[in-house]
């Protein structure tokens, strides 16, 4: 399914007036054919974590494939009286012709390294900024949060329960997609299951239980209707004194005669750690050790971790609002910055300088390498180089901290892997997007390449993103050039 494909709404106008203003200025100043290079990167990691999971590339591809102005778009822009008729006629015939490179979805990435690069006519390359950031920021944020929650669950399945608390329709659907990339086992959302093929988890509601004269009748009716997928919600009244006993009675009286084993129970309130211990004992004593216990109720990675430390008897988790909104850290700081201009056949690096040193950009046309230990299969460091540079993996390579340059390390016996892959060439997509399960599997394998010190929740080890000496010197020279 192309969520932003041709059969969906044309989202070319989902931009900001500043982008159109710059596009108009580019046209009127005869800079339309000037070639520009842009980088998309992150500055900070949410929740003070160790890494970000890149996600959203498939939707970027769909958006760029469908990039065009409809007649209605042109008429609206004409009505604003902001733009010349010549400019409007020009964009009416607009076709996307840029080169785009990106890291594959599911790749762990780190601050300040380019994860999407765009090369092409200045007007085109800058115009797509808003949508690229909207898509990549949102899905990368949710995929990263989901992965933290999944890792906290220590092998137990995590299901995304967040549709009703998400920030709108697209946030629900694409948030479910991103959560699956991050490692969630499935979703309770029907549309995400239907359109994206995400595995689904079914359960029941408290209102179903309340609709009957007794909890037992509600459970029995549900079990008769859904015998092979029977997960009973046991906390409507009293989890231990009525909910679990009534569930066991229904298992005995309704499911057992059908030759069906119960799938599970769900607990959605109360002291869940305590309740799961009690419920597990009751289920085991009743002959249902295989009956799974699913828990929900405003969970996140910290609560899940504490529950498991305290001995909670949980088989799977349903996580909603704190996952789908990344409530503890709801904004991802992805930015899109000009890195170079091509004029008269020469590349002219560009830099943005700020009193806030974190906002100083990295000039030049760049690429990103990941150095991987050949013996251990673990990532050693990432290196950002100028695009013409090669890292010879047959020789030792000296890494150095770009801030504290005396900190140096020599990498040996490593594989040097380029992270950025061609996605569009001359406006034509050359990338074959993997399936969603393939992306999830790839993501899990890439996280396995990170040391535990990088993946821990509390004060994770700083993963090294170093610069080549040539890139570092270019940046220093440009900083000196603009100093006063």
DSSP string, 186-235: EES-HHHHHHH---B-----HHHHHTSSSHHHHHHHHHHHSGGG-EEE--
Report residue 33's pLDDT band, with 50, 70 and 90 as the boundaries. confident
* CATH number of the structural domain spanning residue 447: 3.20.140.10
Other C-beta atoms closer than 10 Å to the C-beta of 451 total 15
pLDDT of residue 344: 82
Q: What is the pLDDT of residue 269?
A: 96
Q: How confident is the model at residue 9 (pLDDT cuts 50, 70, 90)?
A: low
Which band of pLDDT confidence, cut at 50, 70 and 90, is reported for residue 32?
A: confident
358 and 264 belong to one structural domain: no
Q: Are residues 317 and 413 in the same domain?
A: no
Q: Domain boundary residue among 300, 324, 348? A: 324
The verdict on residue 248 lying in a domain is yes
pTM above 0.85, yes or no: yes
- The C-alpha atoms of residue 195 and residue 186 are separated, in whole angstroms, by 13
* One domain for residues 344 and 295: no
Across the range 101-113, mean pLDDT stands at 98
H/E run at residue 416: strand 414-418
**pLDDT averaged over every residue in the chain:** 95
- As a whole number, mean pLDDT of residues 392-407 equals 92
* Same domain for 116 and 33: yes
Is residue 5's pLDDT more than 70? no
Q: Domain check: are 423 and 454 in the same one?
A: yes
Q: What is the mean pLDDT of residues 274-284?
A: 98
> Which pLDDT does position 465 carry in this prediction?
95
Query: Residue 11: inside a domain, yes or no?
Result: no
- Do 380 and 358 share a structural domain? yes
Helix segments in 226-309, DSSP class H: 244-250, 272-285, 301-309
Residues 106 and 193 in one domain: no
- The structural domain count of the chain equals 2
- Which of these three, 324, 339, 359, is where a domain ends? 324
Residues 401 and 477 in one domain: yes
Q: Are residues 389 and 424 in the same domain?
A: yes
Do 182 and 253 lie in one domain? The reply is yes
Q: Which of 293, 324, 355 is the last residue of a domain?
A: 324
Burial of residue 436 (number of CB atoms within 10 Å: 0-12, 13-18, 19+): middle
- Give dist(CA 367, CA 114) in Å, integer: 7
Continuous segment of H or E residues that includes residue 78: helix 71-80
| Residue span of the structural domain in which 429 resides | 17-142+330-481
Question: Is the same domain home to 229 and 281?
Answer: yes
Whether residues 247 and 394 share a domain: the answer is no
**CATH code of the domain in which 316 resides:** 3.20.20.70
| Contact in structure between 305 and 11 (CB atoms under 8 Å) | no
pLDDT at 367 over 60: yes
Mean pLDDT is lowest, of 324-328, 405-409, 433-437, 447-451, for 405-409
Would you give the distance in Å from CA 237 to the centre of its chain? 38
Flag whether pLDDT at 3 surpasses 60. Answer: no
């Amino acid at each position: 399914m192309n969520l932003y494909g041709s059969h969906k709404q044309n989202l070319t106008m989902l931009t900001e007036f500043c982008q159109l203003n710059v596009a108009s200025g580019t046209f009127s100043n005869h800079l339309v054919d000037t070639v520009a290079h842009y980088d998309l990167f992150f500055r900070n990691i949410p929740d003070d974590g160790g890494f970000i999971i890149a996600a959203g590339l498939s939707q970027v591809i769909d958006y760029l494939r469908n990039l065009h102005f409809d007649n209605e778009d042109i008429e609206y822009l004409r009505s604003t009286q902001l733009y010349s008729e010549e400019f409007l006629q020009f964009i009416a015939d607009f076709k996307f012709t840029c080169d785009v490179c990106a890291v594959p979805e599911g790749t762990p990435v780190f601050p300040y390294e380019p994860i999407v690069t765009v090369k092409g006519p200045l007007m085109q390359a800058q115009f797509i900024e808003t949508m690229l950031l909207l898509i990549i920021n949102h899905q990368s944020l949710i995929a990263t949060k989901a992965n933290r929650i999944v890792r906290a669950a220590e092998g137990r399945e995590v299901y995304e329960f967040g549709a009703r608390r998400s920030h709108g329709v697209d946030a629900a659907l694409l948030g479910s997609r991103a959560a699956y990339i991050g490692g969630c086992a499935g979703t309770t959302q029907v549309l995400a299951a239907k359109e994206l093929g995400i595995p689904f988890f079914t359960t029941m509601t408290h209102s179903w239980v309340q609709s009957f004269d007794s909890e037992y009748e509600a459970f029995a009716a549900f079990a008769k209707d859904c015998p092979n997928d029977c997960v009973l919600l046991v906390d409507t009244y009293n989890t231990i004194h009525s909910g679990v006993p009534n569930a066991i009675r229904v298992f005995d009286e309704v499911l057992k005669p059908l030759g069906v084993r119960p799938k599970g129970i769900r607990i959605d309130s109360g002291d869940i750690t305590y309740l799961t211990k009690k419920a597990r004992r009751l289920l085991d004593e009743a002959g249902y050790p295989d009956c799974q216990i699913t828990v929900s109720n405003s969970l996140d990675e910290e609560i899940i971790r504490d529950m498991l430390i305290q001995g909670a008897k949980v088989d799977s988790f349903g996580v909603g609002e704190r996952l789908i909104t990344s409530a503890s850290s709801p904004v991802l700081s992805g930015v899109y910055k000009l890195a170079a201009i091509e004029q008269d056949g020469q590349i002219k690096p560009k830099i943005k300088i700020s009193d806030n040193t974190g906002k100083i950009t990295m000039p030049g046309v760049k690429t990103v390498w990941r150095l991987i230990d050949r013996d251990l299969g673990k990532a050693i460091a990432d290196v950002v180089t100028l695009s013409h540079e090669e890292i010879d993996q047959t020789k030792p390579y000296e890494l150095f901290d770009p801030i504290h340059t005396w900190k140096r390390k020599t990498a040996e016996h490593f594989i040097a892997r380029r992270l950025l892959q061609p996605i569009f060439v001359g406006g034509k997509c050359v990338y074959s997007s993997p399936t969603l399960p393939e992306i999830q599997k790839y993501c899990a394998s890439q996280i396995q390449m990170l040391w535990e010190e990088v993946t821990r929740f509390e004060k994770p080890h700083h993963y090294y993103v170093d610069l080549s000496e040539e890139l570092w010197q270019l940046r220093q020279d440009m900083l000196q050039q603009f100093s006063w």
